[in-house]
Structure 1
């Protein structure tokens, strides 16, 4: 192994006298903290900085060797001085030496709680797989890897990582490389799986893999490509969060979800996010009765696609989230604990007709809209109010975008359950006193019998 003498050296400190720790007495409370607390504080630092901190106190001199959290990033600040003297290849060799040195010096009796690394993966270099093998032997619980392959070579998920049955969180950012998944095997204790900028080649292998993770609660697929997927079937009984966002994945249009049949069978789902060209078909196999938050962002549809087709697609999703407490229809604003959809003009052709949409949101307490204001939008808003008999808060973020609508319609003069009994607050944001806005305000003031603000 090469010397790491080129790394920043530990600063020289005066020799302590009378066995007094050379730490500022004003900060002595930090030195007196229990070791687990110090470990937690140091877990937010790069490992190189933890080693530097060991020079501050004699009590911490070897603390880094028992750190359960290891963080390595070859683009971190400790490499900047080396870039002035060495080529990028030479710098990365020293980075690998540093990781090897830390893993070899790490206390044998201490398991590794989490390991984070930004590194390279080349065909002629097995360093990454050697690190993973050591981590498996030390019963790692969290593994976060950002792996770049210059030749876009595949990253094979090692089987020996599955053997110790300890991993609970796995996050892989493969920078658009292929993930090779073991056949018919998964992680029996895995609770969170995140794949970022990853290419997936086999729908059956992927389905079998996630199905072999019975405790999985969080599944995040961000910037992934699904090559030749005909069906994306996510059937996980314990799944709580499902996040799919492929709008910036960089692959071809059809490698996302455009030609997939997207099936979800997650009865305990509480959070749902989808941003991708819409799948060929969408279905809820089981209605998630615990769903609190959903994010649906349609985009990438050709101009030839009718609003009715998009509306029908969205309505399939709406029917599956009828238990939501907060409903949001918007374009690009994310608010915590909210249900998130596209602008109402996409829903208008169907939602404005009761015979097309009969879902009632009995649990809905807050409705948030980001929308333009004309007669089409207002009609959709009022019909949505009819679908939410227990609504307490209505927020409308008014956009200047206009939607050309040929429907002949006037604001109805009728009682609506939520306006009569429950709606207490209305927020209208970015109002510019247009005729349609004033009509909406008159309607709400006239019919909001329990309106307080």
Structure 2
């Protein structure tokens, strides 16, 4: 009896997992976080090196600390001097952990390495990062290095970590994402032959660092620059590159930017409108998005000139997206000032699909009309209503008093008051309206498009706060007043 119970206990306590084939154990480990995978090395001697099979490494400084440690880290306990010592020691321990983890993986192909390290201004700790970057450049396909602590910075910190720390090529890196550091101009012997995507967030850029990066990355196709800081003029001049997708999210109105990349297919501008921005040589462009937001609450004639030059340079694009801010700038074309009329963009003959994101206040309404006039071959029109409750001041004294009172025009009758038909109405086939609220000026636009679009095949209205009466009105309007009787709604 005792023998049977002993056999039963042995059977219940038998370690079956450790005797599984190693490929299965490796597969199991691949589902664990890096922190938990490292813990398995303490289970037994046979498990000590199994964790080295994982190909995605994620070192987040704050997920490696327990709650008690976090109290110390955020200075909740102890005086300031003691807290600084504790924080420094915690960072040192975290750096030690990364060192020990990367050492046995040298020479292996790592799919992904993520390191999230709170911003450091200690020269000793900064030097600890250098080997990690070298490891990434020689062993990793996707590398993320983030010093932001997960929060956006309001200003550019001093003494940020500088990249790259080495002068040899990276043969494996395909995706690189950097946050809150400095990216220096590259030396001639540094190259990224496999690099395809670069994302720079809150990175301080110097001189020709971006142009050098593109020139030394023959397969780079996508470049994202989000809230970066530039030392002087920001220039991307890459006549021989393969870059196809460029996103620039600016946070500084004083920036001066010039872009010349003939290979670009897609270009997007977000954030504030820089004081001076220009583009050229975009003959392959397919899609352009100008989604500048309000940098200042005054509009000046110089903004119109800059925006019209951008539209002229993007005349090859088949799809175009504009923000509410851009529409209001375009309204200056109706300011009754001869100098401003000279900025009128050339017709966008290649444009097939126009998207605007707007509240269609009276100035945006006028700007949209200007845009439709220079889009003669438009086939699809999308509008997304967004209400930011921002009203701008027109900063130049040369604007006529009549123009300054556009805010008093009857927006519900605006389209009916247009004396000339828009050329695009002879080609427009599809209209999509998102976040439709049933306001009078929205109804006026729908009515006009239904009545005047000769080839309209489909109108899609996604309503937001539209009541049943307004929806029934739209349905009756569509049935009785539609220009093309074969259109569907």
Question: Kindly tell me: are residues 57 and 350 of structure 1, through their superposed partners in 2, closer, same or farther at Cα, counting changes over 3 Å?
Answer: farther
| Among candidates 228, 233, 236, match of residue 233 of structure 1 | 236
**In the alignment, which residue of structure 1 is the partner of 2:192?**
188
- Offset at residue 239 of structure 1 (A): 1.1
Which whole-Å CA distance do the structure 2 matches of 1:36 and 1:309 have between them?
61
- Offset at residue 447 of structure 1 (A): 0.9
**In the alignment, which residue of structure 2 is the partner of 1:10?**
none
**In the alignment, which residue of structure 2 is the partner of 1:337?**
none
| Among candidates 223, 246, 268, match of residue 272 of structure 1 | 268
Q: For 1:111-190, list aligned pairs within 5 A.
A: 111-119=109-117, 120=120, 122-125=122-125, 126-136=127-137, 138-147=138-147, 152-158=158-164, 160=166, 162-174=168-180, 178-189=182-193, 190=195
CA RMSD across the alignment: 4.1
- Offset at residue 348 of structure 1 (A): 1.6
- The count of aligned residue pairs is 402
- Offset at residue 33 of structure 1 (A): 8.6
Verify: 1:313 aligned to 2:306, yes or no. Answer: yes
For the residue of structure 1 that corresponds to 2:246, the secondary structure is strand
Name structure 2 gaps, 5 residues minimum.
1-9, 74-85, 150-155, 336-340, 393-402, 454-482
For the residue of structure 2 that corresponds to 1:362, the secondary structure is coil
Contact 2:130 2:165 in 1 (8 A): no
Verify: 1:283 aligned to 2:319, yes or no. Answer: no
Which whole-Å CA distance do the structure 2 matches of 1:433 and 1:109 have between them?
64
TM-score for the superposition, normalised by structure 2: 0.68
CA displacement 1:70-89 (0-9 Å, x = unmatched): 11111115443444688222
Which whole-Å CA distance do the structure 1 matches of 2:357 and 2:148 have between them?
40
- Offset at residue 205 of structure 1 (A): 4.8
Indicate the structure (1 or 2) with the bigger Cα radius of gyration.
2
For the residue of structure 2 that corresponds to 1:216, the secondary structure is coil
Q: For 1:99-110, list aligned pairs within 5 A.
A: 99-106=98-105, 110=108
Query: Which structure has more helix as a fraction of its residues?
Result: 2
| Among candidates 349, 356, 360, match of residue 348 of structure 2 | 360
For the residue of structure 1 that corresponds to 2:51, the secondary structure is helix
Contact 1:398 1:430 in 2 (8 A): no
For the residue of structure 1 that corresponds to 2:172, the secondary structure is coil
- Offset at residue 347 of structure 1 (A): 0.9
Contact 1:16 1:22 in 2 (8 A): no
Name structure 1 gaps, 5 residues minimum.
1-13, 332-341
**In the alignment, which residue of structure 1 is the partner of 2:289?**
294
TM-score for the superposition, normalised by structure 1: 0.73
CA displacement 1:47-99 (0-9 Å, x = unmatched): 11333477999998744212222111111154434446882222222212221
Which whole-Å CA distance do the structure 1 matches of 2:143 and 2:22 have between them?
30
- Offset at residue 346 of structure 1 (A): 1.0
Which whole-Å CA distance do the structure 1 matches of 2:186 and 2:216 have between them?
11
